[in-house]
Amino acid sequence: MNDEKIINDPVFGFIKIPRGPLLDIIKHPWMQRLTRIKQLGLTSIVYPSAQHARFLHSIGSFHLMSEAINSLTNKGVFIFDSEAEAVEAAILMHDIGHGPFSHVLENTLINGISHEDISLIMMEQMNREMKGALTLALKIFKNEYPKRFLHQLISSQLDMDRLDYLRRDCFFTGLTEGNIGSARIIKMLNVANDRLVVDYKGIYSIENYLISRRLMYWQVYLHKTTVASEKMLLNVLNRAKGLVRNGHEVFAPPCLKYFLSNDVNAELFKCDSKALYYYTLLDDTDIWSALKEWTENNDNILSILASDIINRNLFKVEVSDKPFDEEYIENIRKSLSDRYNITKEETCYFMSIDFIQKDMYDFNDDHISILYKDGTIKDISEASDILDIVLLSKKNRKYYLCYKRF
């Protein structure tokens, strides 16, 4: 009997999954749910080929983790087989708590609990189902295991999650400028003082990685059209939620209806088993099914917003380096009110004002440390000739004003 399964990944080629706990995780319904959730949400509005699922990203992250474990053990870093399997299991499940359309749901249908928190709840439940087989994986995931570098492989500025999604998202968007040398970076990984470091020969790959990450954020993840479409989705969900709670008839699949009808927060996840049950059923298809039905709803605001998303009539977007003038915003609000015969208060559904801030290198996160031949360790900001500390720590903030065209 074959002791492994093989998945043909378009980015990394054939990926081997050994039978046992790792294959059991992949077969689990909660993991399979990720095949019905797009990795990049509404980004396909800008990059039509960005149709890949979170499941593929999880498999890719697992593959890179396996490569990293092999690279480190070849350099003499001692890792037990049980630890290797546990850290691979943890990276497989790291995104299992993601809902449809990524972070949009975290600000509308659920509050006060992140997808990371939900991932942990789901992992703990899966561990009970698997009779404790994931206990070590959970310890590593929660950074409660003595070998801290194993947790860094899951969550840090050079974790396998980031190395996969940057490479994968470049591939599916076709944005070659953001491509990174993940294989080279992994080959250069090492461990010093129980911390993940990069051998000095890999410094140029790290420089390219940081620049590529910046390009990907501003050209893909925070592209103004993507931001506008996400604001529209957020607004239409908020409108539907308000209507449901006021007794208005709004179609929704049962799993979505639960979140429209209830204030779902961390406390509810603890005390109401329905919260986790319905969350694990919720995927992109539920949102799209609802949106198609809402185009015919007798609430004008809900109908217009749903139709605009379905038919790609997107909000107009203005981007500025400074906050927008209040008088200018008020004029837009008045124009929306007059054009669509809605109250000034209701114009909030047809517009959005926000700012987005992203820096190239977060000094509050785990540092990227460069290891020299003599054992000296320097932060990348000191080691690099082209990435000075001022550039690395600069907070790049942009203000977005999105509104329905009138």
Q: What is the pLDDT of residues 253-311, one digit of tens each?
A: 999 999 999 999 999 988 899 999 999 999 999 999 999 999 999 999 999 999 999 99
pLDDT band at 102 (very low <50, low <70, confident <90, very high): confident
Q: What DSSP string describes 74-138?
A: HTT----HHHHHHHHHHHHTTTTT--TTGGGGGGTTB-S--HHHHHHHHHHHHHHHTTTTTHHHH
DSSP state of 365: S
Mean of all residue pLDDT scores within the chain = 92
Q: For 360-401, what is each residue's pLDDT tens digit?
A: 676 666 689 999 999 999 988 888 877 665 565 566 788 999
Residues recorded for the chain: 406
- Least confidently predicted of 182-186, 217-221, 356-360: 356-360
> Which of the four CATH numbers 3.30.70.100, 3.40.50.720, 1.20.1250.30, 1.20.120.80 does domain 224-357 have?
1.20.1250.30
CB atoms within 10 A of CB 392: 18
CA distance 149 to 127: 23
Which superfamily, per CATH, for 4-93+134-222? Hypothetical protein af1432 (1.10.3210.10)
Task: Break the chain into its structural domains and give their ranges.
Answer: 4-93+134-222, 224-357
pLDDT band at 179 (very low <50, low <70, confident <90, very high): confident
What is the predicted pLDDT for the residue at 314?
95
User: Closest by alpha carbon to 306, among 371, 352, 253, 350?
Assistant: 350
Q: For 313-367, what is each residue's pLDDT tens digit?
A: 999 999 999 999 999 999 999 999 999 999 999 999 999 999 888 776 766 666 8
What is the predicted pLDDT for the residue at 214?
85
User: Closest by alpha carbon to 352, among 314, 390, 384, 298?
Assistant: 314
Q: What is the CA radius of gyration of the chain?
A: 23
236-245 average pLDDT score: 96
Is a pLDDT exceeding 90 seen at residue 162?
yes
What is the predicted pLDDT for the residue at 43?
94
Q: What is residue 220's three-state secondary structure?
A: helix
